[in-house]
A and B are shown apart, each in its own frame.
Chain A
């Protein structure tokens, strides 16, 4: 049994890695194979995977994870400004700083559970957002956002004799510029590593304890388990993933603004995770990709493109249809997202992953169900 479930995990992992790395090929028919968008898929995939470790496994719903995303971005840009344009130190620092920040917020917020926990995290994130605009302006550069400039120190680069010349330098990984496709592949590799670690955590005794907390936290205490350090670690790990995602945003586009910490950004990762399927491994990545894809497609539509699409209709009808549809596209694409989300929660509470399981179930229903097979003894959510 152990062998077979370990094998199926490797199959899952390799399939995932292959699918991520070949995105430029199979996304072409969807018109989504350009680097900027694929980078977003990978970055928000990382964000959602990490969020799922907290929300999917323990059931604790944080409404403040964008704060860690923002902290990650700021840290990365500072690393670019002060040390080097190499992305590795930036990524590492971001993870560490976001982790520390998450420990601080988690330590306090996890004194409560349920809605009170959610409100506490939301309050902390909004506080961070407002501080970034006010008191912390020397660090965050306020409304302008933190940007690179020609006068930055870049101590390590200077020591290595890399001069920037007259134009702003770009982020790089040992000489390879992190824009376009190379940027995507860097994010993709990070996503694959992040997925692997999440997979191991989910399958570990630690991950099972987190699922136990979601299932019946009181029982965990009476079983001799101290749930608090488990929760704090889960919170810190997911905060580190968020910081990592934030640093990747800065890697692909080296500037950081406070709007990344706003509550809408925190809400977005909640939507991604639930839409894909909370508690599953693949769900959050699918949810993140789907939302970013739709955002990209629908928000690009405007009155002109709609008129073209519905050109075949009679004039009066065309105007009406265009008026109605335009509510759902362009700036109004959030209306589409809201509808999509409502439909998912009402009809498929388990998200896309549950939908896929149901479709899979239609094909396998005929087969006899094994009643006491030990291969199914440990429920492995994939």
Chain B
């Protein structure tokens, strides 16, 4: 593909992102007129309700969607290249399941120790749930890293990841069985995914953590390109296979863990977005695919967030319902095309 076409493509995706971002500030149960959005952003309008809606709710939510979308999409790209499997995604590392397990443990323990539901602890419960999700995700990540540092065979690794996911999932189910009814409800809500959980207080730390991970990925582009030839060739071209897969799993696991902790297990963004990037640019060069996948992930997350918040769904529609609705057809068309 010619360079000029690539530039136009990238510019188009960015432009779409900007439009979606502004729409995210504008649309919701209360419609904020466009000129008021800019006035609030530029601090010209001091109408308190509007500025609270925008600064305390919509802006952090839009930023969360943006960052989470980029992180999950590019983590999916890394997984697909590492495992050379078009259906690989961050959930294959068992990270989402680990996060769910962490949340499950916290919910059960609070119920068992205090006899009260987690949700009754208010603000503490959100922090507790995020922290538990993060710890669960990181623990599973360490188990996966231990395996990957010992293994050159990616098929074995992918199976181990899936089995860990099942194992964590089944323990979670057992825990849920013993949990209080109110908490199961809280758990189900967390599991549906939402970009609204970060909020003003935590958006800065969330943003910094994600951006560090995103930047690190750009340094992997060369090795990812070589991996397309398969492990044996990559090894012969000077790549330390075990160390390389540890680094790739570490970075994508880190990003997935953070996003899952704050937003719940969000499906399909990591699976479908890399395919859109590949088909759009007809390329397998990671120097292009990495930024393209991040940008497309941003657009998609903003779009899903917008749909989920459309007037009429006055509460928030679960993000996972929307991502799956858009992601599943993409995955089907990719499989049809690649296995003709």
* A and B are partners in one complex rather than unrelated chains: no
B residues with CB within 8 A of A: none
